Every structure is written in C-alpha cells, then in structure tokens.
Amino acid sequence: MADKNQGNIKIDIELCTGCRRCAEVCPVDAIEGNDGSSQSINIDKCVMCGQCIQICSAYASVFEEYPTSREKKLLERNLPETLTEPLFAAYSIGDLPKVKEALANSAKFTMVQCAPAVRVSIAEEFGMPLGSLVPGKLAAALRQLGFNKIYDTNFAADLTIMEEGSELVQRITEGGTLPMFTSCCPAWVKFVEREYPELIPHLSSCKSPQQMAGTMFKTYGAEKDSIEPENIFSIAIMPCTCKKFEAERPEMNTSGYQDVDAVLTVRELAYLIKEVGIDFNSLLESSFDKPLSMYSGAGHLFCATGGVMEAAIRTAYEMITEEPISDVNIQYVRGGQGIRRGVVKAGDLKVKTVVVSGLKNVVPILEEIKQGDADFHFMEVMTCPVGCVSGGGQPKMLLPKDNDISFKNRISSTYRHYEDQIYRKSHENPEIKAIYQKFLGEPLGQKSHHLLHTEYTPRREGK
Amino acid sequence: MNAFILGNPEKCIGCKACEIACSVAHLDISVVKANEMNIPFISRLNLVRTSAATMPVQCRQCEDAPCANVCSVGAIVHKDNCNIVLEEKCIGCKECMLACPFGMLEMQPKSAQGEMEFQAGLKVESINGEQQKAYVVMQKCDLCTGRAEGPACIEVCPANAFVIVNSEFIRRNLNQKRISSAQEIAKCRYIRNS
Amino acid sequence: MGIQLNSFVLADPKKCIGCKVCEVACAVAHRSEELKTVGNMDVPIMPRLYLVRIADVTMPIQCRHCEDAPCANICPVSAITQIDNKIIINEEKCIGCKSCMIACPFGAIELAAAYKEGRPILQNLLTLNSEDEFIHKQSAVASKCDLCIDRSNGPACIEACPRQALSYENVKMEKKRRNAEIVSKTGATIKNFMV
C-alpha cells in the first residue's frame, strides 16, 4: 500500500488561492505552484506532516459557487455528510468510513489506542479551553462509541523506550552505528528514507509506539481476550496525518497481521463523537482497559519535543549504571522549536544527545553526520513545530495566530499529566515488566526483535 | 435567494403597457371574454410618477417579508424563491398592506372564470337592501410563476426597462462592482503611502 | 474644524497574498461566543469583506462607510444608520429586500442567512409552502462591515492579516500628513526657484 504512495495530503484546486503560506511551513518544500495560482503537492517529497492543513485559510465560501458541491467534497475527503464546519483547501483524506464499518460489524473485535497528544487537545473541538486535559472523558467517549477494548499508545511508548533504550546502550557499548536516531515520527522516517537514504542505518530499528501497540493487540491482546487475531480491527487515534501512511506500510505486519488497520486524527474522532450525538463535555470520566493501557509519566512525554529523549535517558541511564538516576527531570531537552544539545553522564560514559523540533532544523545536523563531524550518540527528531502536540491531525485553529497559545497549553497539560503519574520511568511500569515476563522475554530478544522492530526502505539512490 | 423584478427609471417611458400585460397574464379567461364580461383591469404592479422619476413598482419579494410575518392566517408563504399569496386563506385583514414598506400590496375582489366569488355569510346592507359581498383578497406580484414566457411585464416593455434580480444577477453585479473597485484602487498610485 | 468623516478599512493590493485569513477572522469576530477551532465553527463562514482575485489584483473589498451612503438612502425601513461614525445595518429591522445590495457601488453588502449561537434564526410567521408541515423560513438579512463596532481591539481583519495589508483609513489625518509633507518639501527647495 505504501508503495503506491498517493499521499493522503491534498490541496483542493477549486479552493486554493495560491497565497503559499503552506509552502512557508512545509519542511520539505513539497508544495509547488506560482503565487496566486492553485498549488499542488509533490507526493514524493511530501512527508504528510499536515502542517499545510493547519495554516491553510482558503475556505469554501457560501457566497461563491464551486464546480464541485460541498456534498461531493465531503465524500471525496471521507467526511460525514452531517459535518457543518467550513472546508479548507488543504486537507487529508479521512478514514472514518472504515472505522464506522468495523464498529458496525459484530464479527470484528475493535481495539483502539490513543496517542498521548490526543488527551490534551480533543476537548478543544468541543469548545473547552485550548489544551484542556481530558483522559477520562476521552476514554468515556470511546466506550460510548462502542470500541471493544480501549487501550493506550502510552503503554506502547514505554515499550518503545525499553527496546530503544536497550538498542542505544547496545550500539554504544558494542560499537553499532552512531549516532542513533529516534524512529517514532513517521514523517521524519520517510524524510530520511528519501532525502538521506545513506543514513538509514542510523535510524533505530524500533517500530513507533503506534505500531508496537498494534502488534501487541493482535498477539498479547488477542491471547488475553481469546480472540482470533484476524477478527481484531485495530484503530489508532493520532494527532498526526502521517500516522495513516505509517500504518499502511506493507512491512508493518510482523505478527502476521497488519499492526494497525485504521488511523483517525483527533479531528476525525471529534467528527465521529459529534455525529453519534455524544455530549462530550458532560461525559462522566471513564478509564482505559487493562492491561495494554498502564503507562509511566515517561511514556506520556512522547507527545512533546524532547519527551522521547527524556524518557530514553532515564531508562538508558539506569540500564548502563544499574543505579537510579538522581533527577528524573531532564530540563535541557525540553523546549520549543529548534535544536537542543546536551550531555548526560552515566557512570564513565558521557552520552551526548541532540533534540530537534521542526524537520527543517535537522538538515544541517544530517550534513554534519555525512561529513563525519558528528560527535553525539543519540538524536530525537520530531517533524512538527513542538512535537506531536502540534501535529497536523490536531484540532485546527480558526486563526493561525492561536497556534502558539494552543501549543503552549497542550505542552503544559502534558507535563501536568506527567507529574500525576505514579511511575516516572518506563522500566518501572509494572505492566511493562509483566509483558516481558509473560510474553516478550527480554528487550532485543528474539520475540521482541521479531515483533517490535522493523526495516526501512530507501526511497531513492543515496547522494 | 428570492428573485424580484426591478424597474429602471432611466429607461421607463411611462406607457403602462406593463400594467395591462400584468392584468392579462393573471386572467384565467381569454381577454376577449374578459372584455365581454366587462371585467376591470387588475394589475399587480403600479406605474408611479413623481417629480424625481417615473417607474413601475412591484413586490420586492423580501427575504424576511414583513407582509408574511404579520399575516395571522399564514396566507403568504415562501415557494420557489418567491413569496406567494394563498388567496383561499386570505381574510382581507389588510395588515400586510400596512406592513409593506414599499406600498406594493393591493386588495382586489376575488374572481374565478371572470365571475366574482361571493361570501356565504357576510352581506352588505344599504338603502338598496341587502347585497352579497365578493371576497376581497390580497394580490401581489408572483413573478408570473407558471407562465412559460416568464414575467409578462418584462416581455411587453417596449423600453427594456425591467431587470429580474435573482441570485445570478446579484452575484454578477456584486462581483463586477468589487472587481472594478479593486482595479481602481490598484491603479491609483497615491491611495497607499505606506 | 469641520465635520468628522467616517473612517474605513482599506486593503493594500501590493501586500495582499489572498490567504482569506481576514475573512475567517471577520466571521469569528462576529460570533457572540469565542470560537477557537474549526471544529467549533458550526455555521458557514459569512464574512463582511470579500477577497477579489483577478489577473493582476488580489485584495479584499469592504464597506467604505460612505458619508452619503446610498445603501441607507434606498433602505425602505431605515435599517441602515450612522452610529459612532460607522454605517451600521440594524439586522432586527432589515427585511431582506436587497435594495442596498443593488445600490452599493462597491458590492460591499451581502445577504447572509441569520444565525444566533450556531442555530438558524427562523421567521415568526413566514413559512415554506408545504402541504403537510409548517417549516418556518430562516431569516436572511443584509450584512456588511461594521468596523467591528463591538470589539474592543478594533477591526479583526486588520489584526489577523499576516502581511499587514489592511489598515484603518483616517482620511483627514492622511490629508493633513500629505499637506505637511508637501509644505516641507516646498519649503526646503523654494529658494531654488523663488529668486
């Protein structure tokens, strides 16, 4: 499916006015066209981050007539026909029909996961203040929608840290390819595959939390509920438009079944909740289902820039030194758009790290690596401005000037929620310990390697 | 968006052909028969002369029609981008006449096949004794709905003094005005100093 | 001193990129409740300024707040008046006859379906002609720039424009500025030709 790669980000030529504000935010210069004319997307370059969708203000006016009716546009975009919100030129193709079909099919057992960034943004679509923290209402809404199991990507984020932390330690101590890159951002992965295929060995072989969760649903989760994996329909609620692309990568089926069958953005989930008529704001809080939902604060941090690094450092430090880290809060990795470098001392080892937020910022560092000038061990890259909280599938601000305040509020809710968790380190999560004991064996072991790791595809000849 | 017919005072020559065409168009019998029966002309538009202008006036088919919103029996309803009168519902209370800010409405005797329709109960008493009273109902421009050739007034006008203002006309009109305004501003070198 | 002239918002076609943020900001500013995300925009965006895109010009057009406003002078129900140096449509009084739309030489007035807090405003008695049920017709009224009369920060379009292409035109001040400029220039060079 991914090989077809038609891209899920589109620009409606009937609505585009050619202001090219999308081209200003596109990190890969994939938007092509003259000023004042309709733009098109170069799908080979596009990393499907959806930032163009977030900035676009060329809406369909009721005072104008377009060759294609609103009804037809809704259909083309896979949006509900009851949708009342305005349509804009830049959009992503939705997946609601697939999910509705699975929910209506009694032969399918639906398992849904929610990315960490969803709980700090979805309430915005129901008029609550920007960045409202609503994990309980989110779980309640998913339950009312009729999903059979409500699991959490945060659990898989902890699992990712176990594998990725171990991989980092192994590469450092046993002389693997360094620096190692995080691999949880699918837009970043696609960027490396196309623009820097010669650097693919630097990418961690770990699947992203979304894909790890999907794998566990159809193996461990299937066993727990005595469900045949082929009857499981696995859905991911994501702040990201590129996660749809990642889910469709053909190699993401190491369990024998496609890890994730459908991805909904936060906006799409809100459409579904509204269409069904659920009054989100008055929902009584519910909780996620055991066992694939317990998470540490570290796992939750994945949605903000620096969060994967912070979680990985805590676990890697303790793996290397076998002592508890003195301060779990690693302030230097936190922040906004740009590059943050630092060093962590773990025993005799000095682990040098780089955190990059905003894909454009990574280019000089990749050039540095190609020149052989890189002296660091580990780099976290997130494509969107301040990480997944600012993703292309998040609620779209009517006025782009509100983006900054929404990012700020979502990040502050993220850290508040992190503070609320009992466990601060992924390896201390009891359900993570249990899953290795009962099912996976050990990190980087045969089973975990087979199920939780992947390979990458060069998308053009190395430069 | 409702459509309406607008007269152009620059072009109107005041010939009243529109009034005649209107009454003929709303007859349910032939003109010849109407003439034989001595039926008066009843036009739904009026030619008005003032010192400033001469032009025919007729219903503007307001979106939020005050006539309809004051009618206590629901006799004025919206249909096919036009406000129409359901004559069988009208009781002749005349509130609509007072409500219309343009003075476009008129009360006329109701007739069918050239015959007045008389009321069963209400009689007129006078020195001549008791007489039957015809129904008197509100009549106004209905854009000649159902007439294949379209509005009769537009068709007959020798001076081409009518336009039909519908959503296409308005869209074109607004766009043209906006474009020429934008062009004028863009051309003027001094309108912007900063 | 003379009379105080009505100010208005004017776009600079040299700066405008045609992004329509001004139109969205206009619609958002005229909602009674504060809306932040697109998902909360439950009624169509009905702006009061309109982007014009032709071959060599891109700019929004909006009301000039004419001193002798033709729209107000043609209105049969006196729904358009001057308030605080702004030409304002009283939507309660408007009957949707569209005379003002035809009268305005700029095309600055639209007919907008009326909503309140996301719900259509229905007419009291005017119904759609239907055999089996009474369906009240949604109200539709003339709508145009009111210079964000109820907004403390002034016009939302000016604030939202990413290219600062919109500005508040105070023509009297601009006239004074230009007068002063030409006097300064003349004063500086006059000795060269008034020998």
- Please indicate whether, in this complex, the C-beta atoms of C44 and A57 are within 8 angstroms of each other: no
Q: Which residue among A21, A58, A124 places its CB closest to the CB of C37?
A: A124
Phi (first) and psi of residue A237, to 5 degrees: -100, 120
CB < 8 Å from C in window 201-230 of A: none
Worst-scoring range by mean pLDDT, B61-70, C33-42, C177-186? Answer: C177-186
With respect to residue A336, please indicate whether it lies within any of the assigned structural domains.
yes
Profile chain B (194 residues) by mean pLDDT over runs of 10 residues.
Answer: 94 94 91 85 92 93 95 92 92 91 90 87 88 92 94 96 94 95 86 59
Q: Which residue among B77, B175, B193 places its CB closest to the CB of C129?
A: B77
Whole-angstrom CA distances from A71 to A15, A78, B163, C170 are 15, 11, 33, 44
Whole-angstrom CA distances from C19 to A40, A150, A385, A394, B189 are 16, 40, 21, 21, 24
| pLDDT, position C192 | 67
| Cβ–Cβ under 8 Å, residues A28 and A51 | no
| Cβ–Cβ under 8 Å, residues A352 and A377 | yes
Residue A3 clears pLDDT 80, i.e. is over it: no
DSSP state, residue A431: H
Number of domains into which chain A is organized: 2
User: Is A5's Cβ below 8 Å from some Cβ in C?
Assistant: no
| Cβ–Cβ under 8 Å, residues C165 and C9 | no
Percentage of chain C beyond pLDDT 70 is: 96
β-strands B76-79, C122-128: how paired?
parallel
Q: What is the pLDDT of residues A136-150, one digit of tens each?
A: 999 999 999 999 999
Instruction: Give all chains having 3 or more CB-to-CB distances under 8 Å with chain B.
Output: C
CATH number of A71's domain: 3.30.70.20
* Sheet strands (E) in A153-290: 180-181, 232-238, 262-265
Distance from C98 to chain A by nearest Cα, in Å?
Answer: 15
Give the DSSP H/E element, type plus range, for residue A120: none
Q: What is the pLDDT of residues A283-297, one digit of tens each?
A: 999 999 988 988 998
Phi-psi region of A350 (alpha: psi -120 to 50; beta: other; left: phi over 0): beta
Whole-angstrom CA distances from C67 to C72, C102, C141, C148 are 10, 18, 22, 18
User: Is B176's Cβ below 8 Å from some Cβ in C?
Assistant: yes
DSSP state, residue A437: I
C-alpha to C-alpha distance for A243 and C111, rounded to whole angstroms: 42
User: Is C29's Cβ below 8 Å from some Cβ in B?
Assistant: no
Q: Look-up: residue for tokens 């936190």?
A: A334
Q: What is the 3-state secondary structure (H, E, C) of B17-53?
A: HHHHHHHHHCCCCCHHHHHHCCCCCCCCCEEEECCCC
Considering the domain architecture, whether residues A378 and A234 belong to the same structural domain is answered as yes
With respect to residue A459, please indicate whether it lies within any of the assigned structural domains.
no
Q: At what angle do helices A153-174 and A209-216 cross, to 10 degrees?
A: 110
Query: What ipTM does this complex have?
Result: 0.91
Distance from C72 to chain A by nearest Cα, in Å?
Answer: 23
| pLDDT, position A282 | 96
With respect to residue B189, please indicate whether it lies within any of the assigned structural domains.
no
Q: Which residue among C19, C36, C38 places its CB closest to the CB of A86?
A: C38
Q: Which residue among B62, B66, B182 places its CB closest to the CB of C61?
A: B182
Alpha carbon dihedral A365, A369, A371, A376, in 10-degree steps, equals 100
- In DSSP terms, C125 is beta-bridged to none
Give the DSSP H/E element, type plus range, for residue A384: none
Q: Is C35 helix (H, G, I), strand (E, B) or coil?
A: coil
Q: Which residue among C17, C25, C50 places its CB closest to the CB of A399?
A: C25
Give the chain C residue whose CA is nearest to the CA of A86: C44
Distance from C58 to chain A by nearest Cα, in Å?
Answer: 8
Q: Look-up: residue for tokens 């759609």?
A: C128
- Which of C17, C22, C34, C36 is the best substitution to test chain A (most A C-beta atoms within 10 A)? C36
With respect to residue A142, please indicate whether it lies within any of the assigned structural domains.
no
What is chain A's Cα-based Rg? Answer: 21
Whole-angstrom CA distances from B50 to B43, B96, B153, B158, B163 are 19, 24, 21, 21, 21
- Please indicate whether, in this complex, the C-beta atoms of A19 and C110 are within 8 angstroms of each other: no
| pLDDT, position C39 | 96
> Is-catalytic flag, A76?
no
With respect to residue B173, please indicate whether it lies within any of the assigned structural domains.
no
C-alpha to C-alpha distance for C94 and C78, rounded to whole angstroms: 8
Rounded to the nearest integer, the mean pLDDT of chain A is: 94
Q: At what angle do helices A96-104 and A266-276 cross, to 10 degrees?
A: 50
With respect to residue B176, please indicate whether it lies within any of the assigned structural domains.
no
- Please indicate whether, in this complex, the C-beta atoms of A406 and C36 are within 8 angstroms of each other: yes
Chain C residues near residue B172 by CB distance under 8 angstroms = none
C-alpha to C-alpha distance for A180 and A165, rounded to whole angstroms: 11
Mean pLDDT of A85-92: 97
Considering the domain architecture, whether residues A185 and A304 belong to the same structural domain is answered as yes
Q: Which residue among C13, C106, C141 places its CB closest to the CB of B178?
A: C106
Considering the domain architecture, whether residues A76 and A178 belong to the same structural domain is answered as no
Distance from C123 to chain B by nearest Cα, in Å?
Answer: 7
Distance from B145 to chain C by nearest Cα, in Å?
Answer: 14
Q: Is A12 helix (H, G, I), strand (E, B) or coil?
A: coil
| Cβ–Cβ under 8 Å, residues C110 and C89 | no
Considering the domain architecture, whether residues A154 and A75 belong to the same structural domain is answered as no
CATH number of A281's domain: 3.40.950.10
Residue A1 clears pLDDT 50, i.e. is over it: no
> Is-catalytic flag, A184?
yes
With respect to residue B71, please indicate whether it lies within any of the assigned structural domains.
yes
Considering the domain architecture, whether residues A295 and A422 belong to the same structural domain is answered as yes
Where in the sequence is the domain holding A324, given as residue range(s)? 150-452
Chain A residues near residue C62 by CB distance under 8 angstroms = none
With respect to residue B112, please indicate whether it lies within any of the assigned structural domains.
yes
Instruction: Give all chains having 3 or more CB-to-CB distances under 8 Å with chain A.
Output: C
Whole-angstrom CA distances from B35 to B31, B38, B39, B140, C60 are 6, 5, 6, 22, 58
Phi (first) and psi of residue A74, to 5 degrees: -60, -40
C-alpha to C-alpha distance for A379 and A184, rounded to whole angstroms: 12
Number of domains into which chain B is organized: 1
- Which of A21, A24, A61 is the best substitution to test chain C (most C C-beta atoms within 10 A)? A61
> Is-catalytic flag, A243?
yes
* Sheet strands (E) in chain C: 8-11, 50-54, 57-61, 80-83, 86-89, 110-113, 115-116, 119-120, 122-128, 135-138, 140-143, 166-169
Q: Which residue among C52, C105, C174 places its CB closest to the CB of B182?
A: C52
C-alpha to C-alpha distance for C66 and A395, rounded to whole angstroms: 40
- Verify cis geometry, omega within 30 degrees of 0, for the bond prior to A179: yes
Whole-angstrom CA distances from A264 to A6, A269, A285, A367 are 18, 6, 22, 35
CB < 8 Å from C in window 78-117 of B: 78-79, 83-84, 86, 101-102
Topology (CATH) of C8-192: Alpha-Beta Plaits (3.30.70)
Alpha carbon dihedral A308, A309, A314, A320, in 10-degree steps, equals 120
Cα–chain-centroid distance for residue A7?
17
Last-in-domain residue among A93, A119, A137:
A93
Query: Which residue in A349, A403, A411 sits closest to A377, CA to CA?
Result: A349
Considering the domain architecture, whether residues A263 and A385 belong to the same structural domain is answered as yes
Considering the domain architecture, whether residues A306 and A438 belong to the same structural domain is answered as yes
Instruction: State the catalytic residue, choosing from A10, A388, A396, A406.
Output: A388
C-alpha to C-alpha distance for A17 and C18, rounded to whole angstroms: 6
Query: What's the farthest any 2 CA atoms get from each other in chain C?
Result: 92
Residue A99 clears pLDDT 50, i.e. is over it: yes
Residue A274 clears pLDDT 70, i.e. is over it: yes
C-alpha to C-alpha distance for C176 and C180, rounded to whole angstroms: 6
Question: Measured on CA atoms in the order A125, A127, A133, A136, is the torsion positive or negative?
Answer: negative
Considering the domain architecture, whether residues A35 and A156 belong to the same structural domain is answered as no
- Which of C56, C93, C97 is the best substitution to test chain B (most B C-beta atoms within 10 A)? C97
Where in the sequence is the domain holding B83, given as residue range(s)? 4-166
> Is-catalytic flag, A425?
no
> Is-catalytic flag, A240?
no
Query: Which residue in A115, A135, A60 sits closest to A384, CA to CA?
Result: A115
With respect to residue A192, please indicate whether it lies within any of the assigned structural domains.
yes
> Is-catalytic flag, A303?
no
Residue A54 clears pLDDT 70, i.e. is over it: yes
Query: Which residue in A417, A115, A379 sits closest to A296, CA to CA?
Result: A417
- Please indicate whether, in this complex, the C-beta atoms of A21 and C45 are within 8 angstroms of each other: no
> Is-catalytic flag, A318?
no
Mean pLDDT of A46-69: 96
Q: Buried b / exposed e across A152-184, counting CB within 10 Å, b at 16+? A: bbbbbbbbbbbbbbbbbbebbeeeeebbbbbbb
CB pairs under 8 A between B and C: 126
The number of helix segments (H) and strand segments (E) in chain C equals 5, 12
Cα–chain-centroid distance for residue A443?
22
Distance from A17 to chain C by nearest Cα, in Å?
Answer: 6
With respect to residue A343, please indicate whether it lies within any of the assigned structural domains.
yes
Q: What is the pLDDT of residues C110-139, one digit of tens each?
A: 999 999 888 999 998 898 887 767 789 999
Considering the domain architecture, whether residues A83 and A196 belong to the same structural domain is answered as no
Q: What is the DSSP string of A439-460?
A: II-STTSHHHHHHHB-----SS
Give the chain C residue whose CA is nearest to the CA of A267: C39
| Cβ–Cβ under 8 Å, residues A178 and A203 | no
With respect to residue B177, please indicate whether it lies within any of the assigned structural domains.
no
With respect to residue B153, please indicate whether it lies within any of the assigned structural domains.
yes
| pLDDT, position C193 | 66
Worst-scoring range by mean pLDDT, A326-335, A434-443, B83-92? Answer: A326-335
Rounded to the nearest integer, the mean pLDDT of chain C is: 91
Q: Look-up: residue for tokens 């129900």?
A: C77
Considering the domain architecture, whether residues A88 and A184 belong to the same structural domain is answered as no
Q: Buried b / exposed e across A262-276, counting CB within 10 Å, b at 16+? A: bbbbbbbbbbbbbbe
User: Is A399's Cβ below 8 Å from some Cβ in C?
Assistant: yes
Phi (first) and psi of residue A248, to 5 degrees: -90, 0
- Please indicate whether, in this complex, the C-beta atoms of C107 and B178 are within 8 angstroms of each other: yes
Cα–chain-centroid distance for residue B26?
12
C-alpha to C-alpha distance for A442 and A433, rounded to whole angstroms: 10
Considering the domain architecture, whether residues A50 and A172 belong to the same structural domain is answered as no
Mean pLDDT of A441-459: 94
| Cβ–Cβ under 8 Å, residues C60 and C51 | yes
- Which of C10, C51, C52, C90 is the best substitution to test chain B (most B C-beta atoms within 10 A)? C52
- Please indicate whether, in this complex, the C-beta atoms of C43 and A84 are within 8 angstroms of each other: yes
CB-facing half-sphere around the CA of A24: CA atoms within 13 A: 11
User: Is B3's Cβ below 8 Å from some Cβ in C?
Assistant: no
- Please indicate whether, in this complex, the C-beta atoms of C41 and A86 are within 8 angstroms of each other: yes
Q: What is the pLDDT of residues A385-407, one digit of tens each?
A: 999 999 999 999 999 999 999 99
With respect to residue B181, please indicate whether it lies within any of the assigned structural domains.
no
Q: At what angle do helices A307-321 and A153-174 cross, to 10 degrees?
A: 50
Chain C residues near residue B192 by CB distance under 8 angstroms = 12, 14
Residue A4 clears pLDDT 60, i.e. is over it: no
Q: What is the pLDDT of residues A116-165, one digit of tens each?
A: 999 999 999 999 999 999 999 999 999 999 999 999 999 999 999 999 99
Tokens of C40: 């909360």
C-alpha to C-alpha distance for B122 and B114, rounded to whole angstroms: 21
The neighbour count for residue B168, using CB atoms within 10 Å, is 12
Phi (first) and psi of residue A254, to 5 degrees: -65, -15
Considering the domain architecture, whether residues A76 and A170 belong to the same structural domain is answered as no
Mean pLDDT of C144-161: 96
CB < 8 Å from A in window 112-141 of C: 113
Instruction: State the catalytic residue, choosing from A10, A137, A149, A243.
Output: A243
- Please indicate whether, in this complex, the C-beta atoms of C160 and A401 are within 8 angstroms of each other: yes
- Please indicate whether, in this complex, the C-beta atoms of C42 and A58 are within 8 angstroms of each other: no
What is chain B's Cα-based Rg? Answer: 21
Q: What is the DSSP string of A46-108?
A: -----HHHHH---BPPTTS--SS-HHHHHHHTT--TT--SPPBSEEE---HHHHHHHHH-TT-
Instruction: State the catalytic residue, choosing from A195, A246, A268, A431.
Output: A246
Query: Which residue in A34, A401, A92, A37 sits closest to C24, CA to CA?
Result: A401
> Is-catalytic flag, A285?
no
